[in-house]
Structure 1
Amino acid sequence: MSGKLNFSTETKARIAECTIHLGSVYKFDDSWERFTIETVFLHKDNDRSSLLNDIALVKLRKKVRFSHYIQPICLPRASTSTVLNNLCISSGFGYTLKNVGSNRMLKIRMSILQCNERWDVICIGAYENLIVQGISNICKGDSGGPFSCKSVTEDRWTLYGIHSYVAGFEKTQLGINMRAND
């Protein structure tokens, strides 16, 4: 990640109206804690015309206090390779039926495929910063959500990917995640 973005006054006003909601598993719930976004940091190699590096970090105006419902997640070191065969979970409010999103956050156990296992489907070129998931799937509406795996040696979760794209509604389609340590 790098670089603060320079926004126009109009864009800054729109960002100031954006909030992050934490602390609830329901989309429409008054118990959310709301945090106003102060700054957005796009990935230095973000390219709107492709699927590569379509992630950003946000700086919030006030500090988040951790609670039973709001917990931090570990980030992998840059040198960490993706782990196969760990317990991995994806979550989000994506579609459960065509064009119908869920009002409750859903989670699903996921597996990581080595890129060469599905080379014909998605691994075209040098996309080493993507993680390919298979079998069970995320759906449209889950973009930006976490793909996390539990450590086999410690009682902690690590964010390995951020949902970037899913090819369609079908469970057999592959979900694509931006690798979190890039």
Structure 2
Amino acid sequence: MPQAAVPRTRNPPLRDISPGSKDTVAAVGIAAVAVLLHGALSACCSHEPLAAMNWLSLLVLMTVAGLAHSMEYTCGGTCGLQAVPSVYHPMTYSYGSLDYGMTRVVGGADALPGAWPWIVSIRHPWVPGLRHLCGGSLIRAEWVLTAAHCFDQVTDIGMVYLVIGATQLTQPGPGAQLRRVKQLVIHPYYNPDDYSYDIALLELDHPVLCSPYIQLACVPDATLRVSELQNCWVAGWGSTAPRAQTSSDHLQEATVQLINLKICNSSRWYAGKIHTHNLCAGYPQGLIDTCQGDSGGPLMCQEKNSDYWWVVGITSWGKGCARARRPGVYTSTLYFSDWILFQMRLSPDGSPSPTSRACSHFLTTSHFWIHYITTPQPPLKPWPRATPSPKPMPVPTMGKVNSCPFPIKILMEFFIRVKELLQQIFGQNTS
């Protein structure tokens, strides 16, 4: 996306939340927890053999150390939560006094690691430079949402690979994960001439593991009023200036405004080229926009009075970058929420659909375009909204309580509670 022609020192400094810095916190936490637990257990079980005490202390250390050094876990349970909030605060614009004569390109800033943990870099070895082809959004552990036009020139999907959990392309870091593509699903009505139905899904060769740097994105359901969302952002590794031919090494982010489709489609703007399944976002003056290389990446809006972020759009196209009355054009994920569920072999209630695999349109090594057909879309069905579901606390049993609770069941309950507590602690350390 375009960036201001100013020294890079104007960008907010990066806060080090790399695994190296977390190891220091983890080491202190391990030592403190071990000392406290050893003392407490010694007081409780002073009559037990020393070997048993040492064994229990060792189990505690292994539990804590494992959490500190391996924060990866199976994705699921929640979506749309940032590990690190964005700190970039651009100028605020309104539709009031517009200065259409402004031609300055003012863009985003370097995103912090974990700020947008669902963003994906889609790469191809034939792309010059950083090999970055397009962006994408991780919406399931094995599914990435992106734009169909990213694959217009791709003849072998087996050469495409994805990097998840990275902020800098040249130094993805130890938290990043690499995946290959199992299959590519392109909307059957996609038209490369006018970029209608510009949406695609990538199924990964195997699921990713979530971490503070890798989280699932939320896709809106019919209950979300996208037009009322105000805190919206774009992010990507695209060009930082118009007509630039290289991608940005560091993930860029910027805040944008949703623009009414009637205004965006008016004669002085895009003059009827915007479809009903599109969104427009940017500013009437231009100034901030997505650019080449940001295609397929997310347009994200925060839910009111909530910490949840929704991927409401997929970066599709635009006339130039950051031009006045030429905002970025995005594919609406709300419009295609039912199609997305269907292709992932999920029914609207989240259970597998036995017929969806046979009906899906999969792409492997070549393209089979079905041009734009004005067919009515099926009614939208609610997207299964993922919300945290706390585990029920174990019900205490009645009866005599031993002074030293060493039974396996009690030990397992104890370690589960320790694990949940430490996950909360380490989660707070990354925010």
For normalisation by structure 1, the TM-score amounts to: 0.85
Q: Partner residue of 2:298?
A: 146
Q: Partner residue of 2:427?
A: none
Residues 217 and 310, structure 2, Cα contact 8 Å, conserved in 1: yes
| Aligned pairs, number | 171
Pick the structure with greater CA Rg. Answer: 2
Runs of 4+ in 1 over 4 A off after TM superposition: none
Q: How does 1:120-135 map to 2 (within 5 A)?
A: 120=267, 121-122=269-270, 124=272, 127-135=275-283
How far did residue 36 of structure 1 move? 0.7
Q: Which runs of 5+ in 2 are unaligned?
A: 1-144, 146-154, 337-431
Q: Partner residue of 2:332?
A: 179
Deviations 1:110-146, CA, capped at 9 Å, x for gaps: 1101112232222516711000113121112211110
* Same amino acid, percent of matched pairs: 22
**Aligned with residue 254 of structure 2, among 108, 129, 145:** 108
How far did residue 171 of structure 1 move? 4.3
Residues 281 and 327, structure 2, Cα contact 8 Å, conserved in 1: yes
Deviations 1:63-111, CA, capped at 9 Å, x for gaps: 1111000111110114644233521110011111331431111000011
How far did residue 49 of structure 1 move? 1.6
In structure 1, distance between residues paired with 2:314 and 2:278: 10
Matched to 1:20, the amino acid is: L
Residues 116 and 123, structure 1, Cα contact 8 Å, conserved in 2: no
SS in 2 for 1:68: coil
- RMSD over aligned Cα, in angstroms? 2.0
Q: Which runs of 5+ in 1 are unaligned?
A: 2-10
Instruction: Establish whether residue 161 from structure 1 lines up as the match of residue 313 from structure 2.
Output: yes
Instruction: Establish whether residue 57 from structure 1 lines up as the match of residue 201 from structure 2.
Output: yes
In structure 2, distance between residues paired with 1:170 and 1:87: 19
Deviations 1:21-72, CA, capped at 9 Å, x for gaps: 1111112224231111001111132112211112200100111111000111
SS in 2 for 1:29: coil
Matched to 1:74, the amino acid is: C
In structure 1, distance between residues paired with 2:189 and 2:223: 19
Higher helix share: 2
Deviations 1:152-179, CA, capped at 9 Å, x for gaps: 1322110100000121134433100000
